[in-house]
A and B are shown apart, each in its own frame.
Chain A
């Protein structure tokens, strides 16, 4: 009975009304005879508390996210650019300078000399990849080999073609490849003579 009395009893405080919680601010209840009041005096503190909590959670989220993303994203983008540039360079090298003649890359593979470092490949590849607009050149290094199939059968053999620096396995290298069709004529090449052969030129390239 006291509860119902309490709810029904209202008291005018005489304060000017500023907020939207008109009825609440003017209602006081005595639910169990104590003096605890339900009103909107702490509204601003509550909003501030919620806002502060959200700010802290979002800050933590941004910080954690930022550190894990930056390095990974950067390396992938430069890898992609390096790979594209290497592919383009090999494509240029496999384009004949004169129609119906062999391309420089075909010449290089056909005149492969075991154990030697092919200087034509080196100068051409580095010229194509190291050139930059403005002054100063890039610092591309590479090591190249080519792979052919031993005819007849399904065995393959890889031969080092050229390199600008030894691979120490510490480099962050990307691999680019190019299919080349060669014909060495009467000279033996991977188990055949006087026939066209498809070989794969592979280049590991990195920036040091």
Chain B
């Protein structure tokens, strides 16, 4: 029987190592697309623009007189629930000079995935 020639074992071993390292690099490149997808999904899911928008609208309505502020409050709560699937609730605290000259708005936002609470103070 012809005996197996095992002279070049080191070279073959290095060949295996290099080919395996290529495969691991391929896996890393493969994962990068998954990372891009999950990042984009979480950006879409996180309601950054909604929260900014509602916070800006509420803080812009703190100086409204009595009947208007109640109407706007109901508008925001009802429309946010119906069209944005978000539960919004806020309370505006008027300034009480001289101890406190700032208006405050306590804002709560919850769309089932993201919950956001803000204590806004006027300048």
Residues of A within 8 A of B (CB): 18-19, 41-45, 47, 51, 54-55, 58, 62, 65-66, 69-70, 72-73, 76-77, 79-80, 83-84, 87, 91, 147-149, 151, 154, 156, 176-179, 181, 192, 195-200, 202
Contact = CB atoms under 8 A, between A and B. Distances in A.
Main secondary structure of the interface of B (DSSP, over half): helix
B49 A198 contact: no
Nearest to B74: A149
5 contacts: A55-B19, A77-B36, A83-B49, A179-B57, A196-B61
Interface in B1-50: 3-4, 6-7, 9, 12-13, 16, 19-20, 23, 26-27, 30, 33-34, 36-37, 40-41, 43-44, 49-50
B57 A147 contact: no
A76 B44 contact: yes
A195 B6 contact: no
A45 to B, nearest CB: 8
Interface of B: 3-4, 6-7, 9, 12-13, 16, 19-20, 23, 26-27, 30, 33-34, 36-37, 40-41, 43-44, 49-50, 53-54, 56-57, 60-61, 64, 67-68, 71-72, 74-76, 78-80, 82-84
Contacts of B27: 58, 62
Contacts, number: 115
Given A19-B6, A76-B37, A192-B71, 8 more contacts: A18-B7, A51-B16, A66-B30, A69-B30, A147-B82, A181-B61, A195-B68, A199-B75
